[in-house]
Amino acid sequence: MSLLPRLLILPLALLLALPTATWGDDAPLLETVHAFLYEQSQALGDEVMIEVHPPAGQFPACESAEPFLPGQRELAPGRVSVGIRCGEGHQVRYLQAQLTVFGDYPVAARQLSPGERLGADDLRLERGDLGRLPRQALREIDAALGLQLTRPLGEGRPLLASMLRAEPLVERRQRVVVEARGQGFRVTREGEALDEGGRGERVRVRLSGREIIEAEVIAPGRLAVPL
């Protein structure tokens, strides 16, 4: 079985089946845009459906059409605007298309509670329209393994990046060591963590002089401040 993304071209085929009076000379241009979107969408999922909408009115002739995505935007499922540069003068026109992408994404295999550290048995892959997923939904199970859930998640619900965090290496009210490093020196001070945090997170620390600073968690019980 081919591992290349499968392209469902029925929408284009149906459009091309319309009477030529409806299409005029637009068919080659729409085919060019369709091929461009297919090439751009291969990394989005393993099954892609592309529907290029014909222009509302008669499209002027477009020689040497060069499709592009306006604003250097990354392609995403949903309604897409495609710019087309025409001829030597680079006159720009626009067409609309609908991009539907199907693929696998991780969901909770059971009811999950806040504080649980996620393992492979806690998740399963589900297949569906990726354009209907929330913006922060994860696409790979490995991206969630070993992370801690911050809020409840019902069975079959997708995982969002905002509901996951690294396992805390510093607990609230824990005695910690804060270090500051510079060229040729290193200074350490003790303090009390006012927040819990995982690796790479910034937490508040109360130093011995009652001064409160923010520092980055770098190891169990150890934090660092930038100089």
Instruction: Kindly give the pairing relationship between strand 175-182 and strand 222-225.
Output: parallel
Q: Which residue has the tokens 């937490």?
A: 203
- For the entire predicted model, the pTM comes to 0.60
Q: CB neighbours of 43 closer than 8 A, spacing ≥ 6?
A: none
H or E segment to which residue 37 belongs: helix 27-40
Q: pLDDT truncated to tens, each residue of the chain (227 aa)?
A: 333 333 443 333 333 333 333 344 567 888 889 899 988 888 887 788 999 888 776 666 777 888 999 876 778 888 889 988 887 666 788 889 998 989 899 999 999 999 899 999 999 999 999 889 998 999 999 999 989 999 999 999 999 999 998 888 999 999 999 999 877 788 999 999 999 988 888 999 999 878 999 999 999 999 999 77
State the amino acid at position 203 in one-letter form: V
State the amino acid at position 161 in one-letter form: A
User: What are the extents of the domains in the chain?
Assistant: 6-101, 102-165, 175-225
Hey, which residues does 156 pair with through a beta bridge?
none
How far apart are the two ends of the chain, measured CA to CA in Å? 55
- As its CATH architecture, domain 175-225 has Roll (2.30)
CATH number, span 102-165: 3.90.1210.10
Q: CB neighbours of 156 closer than 8 A, spacing ≥ 6?
A: 107, 108, 126
Q: CB neighbours of 42 closer than 8 A, spacing ≥ 6?
A: 4, 5, 48
Instruction: Kindly give the pairing relationship between strand 47-52 and strand 6-8.
Output: parallel
